[in-house]
Amino acid sequence: MDTRYDLHVHTTSSDGTKTPLEVLELAAEAGLGGLSFADHDTVAGYTDVVFAHAKKLGLKLGPGVEFSAKHKGHSVHILGYAIDIKNAHLLEFCQKHQKRRYKRNLAMCHKLAKMGMSVGDGWLVDEAGMPIQGIGRPHIAKKMVTRGFVKDIKSAFTKYLGDGKCAFVESGIFSVEETIDLIHIAGGKAFIAHPQLCKRNRLLKEILKLNFDGLECYYGGFGNFDAKRWLEIAEEKNWMISGGSDYHGDIKPETCLGSSYVTKEIFENIFGL
Ligand code: AMP
Ligand code: ZN
Ligand code: FE
Ligand code: FE
């Protein structure tokens, strides 16, 4: 088997449950050759200490991010790879997303409270009253489980927090085009994340016409059979291919680190590392 490179991994910088350092340890234990953290709307997981630890463990760590974008009212996830994580425009873009997240999370908690399911909102800020970065819907879902309002995270999403459900608050601020441009400005390559999950053919058709550099062909628990369709599209467009598990740790226990991956050649092609 080829050495595996998992390019879609979440950490505690967003809604994963393992810290970047813990994820690196797990990746080394699992025998991966390298990985990319694709945290939601942040690159905070990429610190000097984290890069140094990856090196020590013999892991290649490629800079990545997963942005939430909007297209005609629908949410689209876009992966940015090989970005300059210190780029000022990128950091400002991430900051705007974090502000959006805070307002959106607050509004969702208030909606839940009105429905008699108070999860509080004090935990959205730190001791100094500053919004904590990287909070997402899975954190709200977890609070709902802890307080006994739902039996598990999945039902929190199906009943209340999922797109369009009664406690959902729409909050997209940047279009797909704006997000692709920003990734390019930060020196990176823009990939459509998990096209497998897009159930709207028209939406998919439209975004496939945009200025992307690649497509996430291998994803989560989907097998090679499913990848074929996406590999063909990538080839037709002369796009790069990527792949990863979308590992989130304990909040998504069915997804293992390294369950979807790309080869060393593909990793090197994307990151030049
Ligand atoms: P957010 O970025 O805060 O809007 O949250 C989106 C994240 O919630 C996704 O990336 C998943 O990790 C998680 N998520 C979305 N839908 C579901 C679902 N139906 N069940 C479990 N987790 C979900
Ligand atoms: Zn997530
Ligand atoms: Fe995603
Ligand atoms: Fe993801």
pLDDT digit string (tens) for 73-99?
999 999 999 999 999 999 999 999 999
Mean pLDDT of the chain: 96
Cβ atoms of 35 and 65 within 8 Å: the answer is: no
pLDDT tens string 11-69: 999 999 999 999 999 999 999 999 999 999 999 999 999 999 999 999 999 999 999 99
- Asked if residue 15 has its Cβ within 6 Å of ligand 1, the reply is yes
Give the start-to-end residue ranges of the domains of the chain. Answer: 5-85+175-271, 93-161
Residue whose CA lies nearest to ligand 1 atom number 21: 154
User: Would you state the pLDDT for residue 223?
Assistant: 67
According to CATH, the topology of domain 5-85+175-271 is TIM Barrel (3.20.20)
- Asked if residue 137 has its Cβ within 6 Å of ligand 1, the reply is yes
Provide the residues around ligand 3 (an ion) whose CB is within 5 A: 77, 193
User: Would you state the pLDDT for residue 224?
Assistant: 65
Tell me, in angstroms, the distance from the centre of ligand 1 to residue 138's CA.
6
Residue 239: is its pLDDT beyond 80? yes
- Asked if residue 14 has its Cβ within 6 Å of ligand 1, the reply is no
- Asked if residue 213 has its Cβ within 6 Å of ligand 1, the reply is no
pLDDT tens string 136-173: 999 999 999 999 999 999 999 999 999 999 999 999 89
Tell me, in angstroms, the distance from the centre of ligand 1 to residue 52's CA.
30
Tell me, in angstroms, the distance from the centre of ligand 3 to residue 128's CA.
31
Cβ atoms of 212 and 191 within 8 Å: the answer is: yes
Sheet with 214-219: strands ordered across: 64-71, 74-81, 189-192, 214-219, 240-244
pLDDT tens string 185-235: 999 999 999 999 998 999 999 999 999 999 999 998 776 668 999 999 999
User: Would you state the pLDDT for residue 221?
Assistant: 77
- Asked if residue 39 has its Cβ within 6 Å of ligand 1, the reply is no
* Strand positions, DSSP E, the chain: 5-9, 34-37, 60-61, 64-71, 74-81, 189-192, 214-219, 240-244
User: Would you state the pLDDT for residue 86?
Assistant: 98
Taking alpha carbons only, the member of 180, 145, 177 closest to residue 160 is: 145
Residue 72: is its pLDDT beyond 70? yes
Between strands 5-9 and 34-37, the pairing is: parallel
**Closest ligand to Cα 9:** 4
